[in-house]
Amino acid sequence: MQTRPIGTTGISLSEIAFGCGGNAGLMLRGEAREQERIVARALDLGINYFDNAPDYGDGLAETNLGRVLKTLGKRPLLNSKVEIRQRDFGDIAGHVVASCEASLKRLGVDHLDVFQIHNGPSAIDPKIEGKVYTQLHIGQFLGVSGAIEGIERLKRAGKIRLAGFICRGNDGAEVRQMLDTGLFHIINVPYTLLNPTAGMPKPDGFDWGRDFGDVITDAHSHGAGAAVYAPLAGGFLTDDAVAGRARHPLARATDPASESARKNVARAAQFRFLADARGCSLAQAAYRFILDHPGATTALAGITTMEQLEEIVAAAKLPGLSDSEQSRLIQIWTENERSN
């Protein structure tokens, strides 16, 4: 497994990282022995970075990963996050610190290598309520007792090495404002065949989703890295999804009959040519597309089974995309009527 540097930090991540979220389900709903077996194999294959968050099963994914790593006697690079909800607005900085300390306890470590804000920056008040945390007003990052103050406290205490945040789309200007602070060294962002706008200017006519504003390129220019989450676009960029086969029982369920699912399956099928040219799976081609971007530090793989782990790690060794294949991708992205 090759590694790539996180910008200019001197820390390098494996090209494929281990995502512990609920979409794949292993670290939430898998059996303990299977979790240990797959994590051990991931480490053997050279995966050195594990991405987690308190929101993944209300801390269960962190607890399970901590147990597995203790059993294996291993300490890879670890990431976790903080979710800021409306109830935390009275003391955002204090909540950031407390959330990190709780994650450290669940993981059984004394510091995190990467700690990220799980909210994306917004220029307008997103008016979040209840358990929602997707976005946060930019002022609540930068202001007094805001998220950045909490990050700075954690750095001074030696509880985190690097800081980052999530990009949610239609927020390119705010992402650049956050990067301009110099405090953040890695962003988490989706960059997929179904929506490539995090890694390039939006293609003319493209209307498959939010515009992520080429923020991977911006991060790269700021000396920061990018971890790509949801690399298979929620599981649609797979041979099983295109063929209409059911998801693994551990994976997060979707409604295949919904209009959005139908459109995503039709869109995903258009990229089969990349897999056919390499004799690989659609999922492997999707990862190869991500790794072709020079600003993509790592792709966060949601692993459900040992077979999936082996499949995705092998994608890093596939040949990159040709100029003609890149041209065909642009054509697909700009001819939206083909997917409707």
The reported pTM is: 0.96
Q: What would you report as the CA-atom Rg of the chain, rounded to the nearest whole angstrom?
A: 19
- Strands 160-166, 184-189: pairing kind: parallel
C-alpha to C-alpha distance for 93 and 145, rounded to whole angstroms? 5
pLDDT at 336: 63
Pull the structure tokens for residue 33: 């022995």
Please name the residues in contact with 48: beta carbons below 8 A apart, sequence gap of 6 or more: 1, 3, 13, 14, 17, 76, 77
pLDDT at 22: 82
Q: What is the pLDDT of residues 146-169, one digit of tens each?
A: 999 999 999 999 999 999 999 999
Domain that holds residue 57: 3-339
pLDDT at 339: 45
Domain count, the chain: 1
> Helix axis angle, 147-156 relative to 92-107, nearest 10°?
50
Please identify every stretch of the chain with a pLDDT value under 50, giving residue numbers as ranges. Answer: 337-340
Using left for φ > 0, alpha for ψ between -120 and 50, and beta otherwise, residue 19 falls in beta
C-alpha to C-alpha distance for 215 and 187, rounded to whole angstroms? 9
Beta bridge partners, 50, equal 18, 78
CATH number of the domain that 193 lies in? Answer: 3.20.20.100
> Helix axis angle, 60-72 relative to 32-44, nearest 10°?
60
